[in-house]
Amino acid sequence: MLSSEEFVLVLDFGAQYSQLIARRVRELNVFSEIEPFNYPIKDIVRRKPKGIILSGGPSSVYEAGAPQIDKALFDLGIPVLGICYGMQLMAYLLDGVVTPSDEREYGAARIFIKNRKDLFANLPEVLNVWMSHGDRIEKIPPNFQIIATSENSPVASMKHKELPLFGVQFHPEVSHTDQGLGILKNFVMGISKARPGWEMKNFIGESIEVIRKRVGKERVICGLSGGVDSSVVASLIHKAIGDQLTCIFVDNGLLRSNEVTEVKKIFGDVLKIDLKVIDAADKFLSDLSGVIDPEEKRKRIGGRFIDVFEEEAKQIKGAAFLAQGTLYPDVIESVSLKGPSSVIKSHHNVGGLPQKMNLKLLEPVRDLFKDEVRKLGQELGLPDPVLKRHPFPGPGLAVRIIGEVTKANLEILRKADAIVTEEIIKSALYNSLWQVFPVFLPLKTVGVMGDERTYESVIAIRAVQSSDGMTANWAELPYPLLNSMSSRILNEVKGINRVVYDISSKPPATIEWE
């Protein structure tokens, strides 16, 4: 990440929410940065963070090979907040007792605050929080005190009596926790004394410097999808290096209706950025022939994208970099970037990339979330039609078709997608939803159309509300809207005789089906 005089350091123990912690801190206009759990003490001392947050993680502190830290961290005088595994590790290293819990807490819980100072200053006595743990602290370390409990956790939060060491068993960073940002604010600004001063315009200025220094006089190819992420990246890089950037939009045959026309209009006519459109649909569909496994789909799509870009790069003198709109949710779900987090699914632009590439990657928004990228786009002056578009997966409709991707299935899904989008826009709900889209299911069900038996496929509609894509709740769409979408799909899309609605939240489901 970029530099800042005052910052909060997040040490990553493998939590899926590590970057969400950093994001919440940045919401307070305080710079934050993630480093792996084994980040050297000497580097922490040298960089002087105002506070340190220990993330959660999937391990148990007493397991062989569990991620550890040097306990000297707690003697630096720097305020430390341990979250979930981070609190358990703090207790374990400072001579407390951590044991497996008889009842695993996962999901909503209530905590009862015993000390409304410091971490819980100016907050209610009872809070609804989000738990996710199988262990608990049986005995707090010497010189610590319990400052909150829950029904299943005798130590829902603790603090050292003299040193600025705090721990919470729950996750204040997720939206499911009441006053979660207030708790983090108390730690960041109240306990750590960090001053707000980091803003998106700072990110732009420092990013431009980094891009110019790294690229030099070479050229950059930007893999443009037409979505928010790659559009913002293209605009940012163009601001940094101007005509050294060429955007390539690949028609992979997996796009929505009119996608190519819209991208040409926005980037060629409005933003005046050098744009090349490559028709590679046949190659992508050939690669996907017979492929059912979603991981294999993503890897083949990622590999083909690189092949296309590198082939085009040969035609552009001095091309050395491939720029992508990779975001942190892509990274954290695909690979263990800075900590031992588990892989959820490979994204075509992260885990789907081949190991050997001739082009060097340039990913200037890799540490940002979608809403932060939209703010960045606003600062850069991008038009609303680009900034307010719902997220669209890099692999396109391929990961919204369960099973094999065929031309026939793609045509069905495109028609259903156009209907869903039209109806959502007509209902004036588009901007209040994070995403809404149809999914093609390879199921055959019996139906009746025109007094005749049918045996056709199924469309599932998915609509979610979210602030960052890391967690999401299914959207309670009005029944008349659901009825309108269903009726139109059944009447206008040949090959579909049943429409269902997905009411799964993330977690445990992901937003996309594959």
**Alpha-carbon distance 447 to 72, whole Å?**
68
Which residue in the list 35, 105, 133, 171 is annotated as catalytic?
A: 171
Return the beta strands (E) in 183-317 as ranges: 219-224, 245-251, 275-279
Is 173 annotated as catalytic? yes
For residue 487, give every residue at least 6 positions away whose Cβ sits within 8 Å of its Cβ, in sequence order, or none. none
**Alpha-carbon distance 455 to 465, whole Å?**
33
Is 379 annotated as catalytic? no
Which residue in the list 33, 35, 173, 512 is annotated as catalytic?
A: 173
Identify the DSSP state of 185.
H
Closest of 213, 262, 280, 277 to residue 240, by C-alpha: 213
Which residue in the list 84, 133, 347, 372 is annotated as catalytic?
A: 84
C-alpha separations of 180 from 21, 119, 129, 334 in Å: 10, 11, 8, 27
Residue whose token pair is 């003198």 = 317
- Start-to-end CA distance of the chain, whole Å, equals 29
Q: Which one-letter amino acid corresponds to residue 205?
A: G
Closest of 155, 165, 10, 39 to residue 93, by C-alpha: 165
Is 84 annotated as catalytic? yes
For residue 42, give every residue at least 6 positions away whose Cβ sits within 8 Å of its Cβ, in sequence order, or none. none
Identify the DSSP state of 196.
P
Neighbours of 452 (CB within 10 A): 7
Q: Helix (H, G, I), strand (E, B), or coil: what is residue 304?
A: helix
**Alpha-carbon distance 276 to 297, whole Å?**
25
In the sheet with 157-160, reading across from the earlier edge strand, the strands are: 31-36, 7-12, 51-54, 80-83, 165-168, 157-160, 144-150, 97-113, 126-139
Catalytic site positions: 84, 171, 173
